Amino acid sequence: MKRRALVTTGLAFGAGVFIARRSYAQGGTLNLYSARHYNTDEALYGNFADLTGIKINRVDAEPDPLVQRLKAEGDKSPCDVLITTDAGRIERAREMGLLQSVNSAVLAKAVPAHLRDPDNSWFGFSKRARVIFYNKEKVTAADAPKTYEDLADAKWKGKILIRPSGHIYNQSLVGSILAADGLEKTEAWAKAVAGNLARPPRGGDTDQIKGVAAGQAEIAVANTYYYVNLLRSKKPEDREVAAKVGVVFPNQANRGTHVNISGGAVAKHAPNKEAAVKFLEYLVSPQAQRYFAEGNSEFPVVAGVELSPELKSLGTFKEDQLNARVFAQNNAEALKIMDRAGWK
């Protein structure tokens, strides 16, 4: 996620919410709460307005404050559609009773079953894989870890970079390992990985990749789009970072690589439900999939959508088919495991 101050577009809050709700409920308008802010947004939303005549009012904010705002507004909320990154966050919104189930044949057909809520309360619209990077000068492709489990090997002592346990991407990853390997093995794995770290965890995913490129460690774990954004960067120094690291899609010989989503859902009290469903269905159209995924160099969820050359250069890979709700619900347990392991 890019850090950004709270920005409110087109909607007033506090006392203004009631006015907004009344005037927007007439149709032709959609109120979107989004935790994604990218340079393809204007094309993504403008195209929807062109196709449907429905104007989008956006509230852009960081994911957790956005969900808190939705909760605080209760049944007076003008929110029609919520978009967040990471299944853990949108699942939390579902557990808080802030979302509603959507019965759409279009969405059920387009979004693979493991990337949507089993009760259709949320849907993945783009996906990111959490993968392993290695310094190509220090590690050969043959020697690089092949699985998440390999990160626990003593040969990587003092050589791994990964961001703090408090970050939801790691909670979802460890949640998926917990589902695959069980509590006892995941506990031992987390202890070993915490013991293999090159330094106390700090920074975001890009910092881990840069650390490995700079030779501060040999191995990093990060989401694919951070790497692809470096590949696509206008800054030569970013592209140099990307050139120094190799990519491993873990667990190709067994369950597949952990994949997370940017998800969308219809809010429980959506004043414009019909427009909201229409918008989610629009998001699985090929053109919208390109805008939505490419804005952050993520993979589209819909099969057959054209990829950017940089994304295409990653090749195809086997995905863990574990339903995103399962690893999302494992977030809290995963954090406890990492805490006990001394993973800061």
* Min CB(53)–Fe ion separation in Å: 33
Q: Which is nearer to Fe ion, 205 or 319 (CB)?
A: 205
CB of 13 to Fe ion, least distance (A): 26
Cα–Cα distance for residue pair 220/125, rounded to 1 Å = 26
Alpha helices in 286-329 (DSSP H): 286-294, 309-312, 324-329
- Residue, CB closest to Fe ion: 1
CB of 88 to Fe ion, least distance (A): 12
Across-strand partners of 160?
197, 219
User: Total residues contacting Fe ion (rule CB under 5 A)?
Assistant: 1
Q: Which is nearer to Fe ion, 53 or 65 (CB)?
A: 65
Structural contact between residues 71 and 261, judged by C-beta atoms closer than 8 angstroms? no
Q: Which residues of 152-161 are buried (b: 16+ CB within 10 A; e: fewer)?
A: beeebeebbb
Size of the chain in residues: 344
Least spacing, CB of residue 271 vs Fe ion, in Å: 30
Distance of closest approach, residue 337 Cβ to Fe ion, in angstroms: 22
Q: Which residues lie closer than 8 Å to 96 by C-beta, 6 or more apart?
A: 67, 71
In the block, which residue shows the tokens 């919520």?
82
The minimum distance between CB 128 and Fe ion, in angstroms, equals: 8
Identify whether the C-beta of residue 123 lies closer than 8 Å to the C-beta of residue 264: yes
Comparing CB distances to Fe ion, the nearer of 128 and 159 is 128
Q: Match 């789009």 to its residue by tokens.
A: 225
Contacts 24+ apart (CB under 8 A), 233-241: 240/213, 241/209, 241/210, 241/213
C-alpha 4/C-alpha 145 separation (Å) is: 35
Q: What is the token pair recorded at 285?
A: 């159209």
Binding of residue 188 to Fe ion (CB under 5 A): no
Q: Between residues 1 and 17, which has the closer beta carbon with respect to Fe ion?
A: 1
- Alpha-carbon 122 to chain mean position: 13
**Nearest CB to Fe ion, comparing residues 1 and 43:** 1
Question: Which CB sits closer to Fe ion, 1 or 326?
Answer: 1
307 contacts Fe ion (rule: CB under 5 A):
no
Does 1 sit near Fe ion (CB under 5 A)? Answer: yes
Q: In the complex with Fe ion, which residue's Cβ is closer, 228 or 275?
A: 228
Strands 29-34 and 55-60: parallel
Q: Tell me the closest approach of the beta carbon of residue 226 to Fe ion, in angstroms.
A: 7
DSSP string, 188-228: HHHHHHHHHBSSS--S-HHHHHHHHHTTS-SEEEEEHHHHH
Q: Which is nearer to Fe ion, 48 or 227 (CB)?
A: 227
> From the CB of 265, what's the least distance to Fe ion, in Å?
19
Taking the complex as a whole, the smallest distance from the CB of residue 223 to Fe ion amounts, in Å, to 6
**Among all chains, which residue has been given the structure tokens 């770290």?**
197
Interface region with Fe ion, contact rule CB under 5 A, candidates 1-9, 87-95, 235-243, 266-274 = 1-9
C-alpha–C-alpha distance, residues 100 and 225, integer Å: 29
Number of C-beta neighbours around residue 243 at 10 A = 11
Comparing CB distances to Fe ion, the nearer of 1 and 307 is 1
Report the interface residues with Fe ion, using CB under 5 A: 1
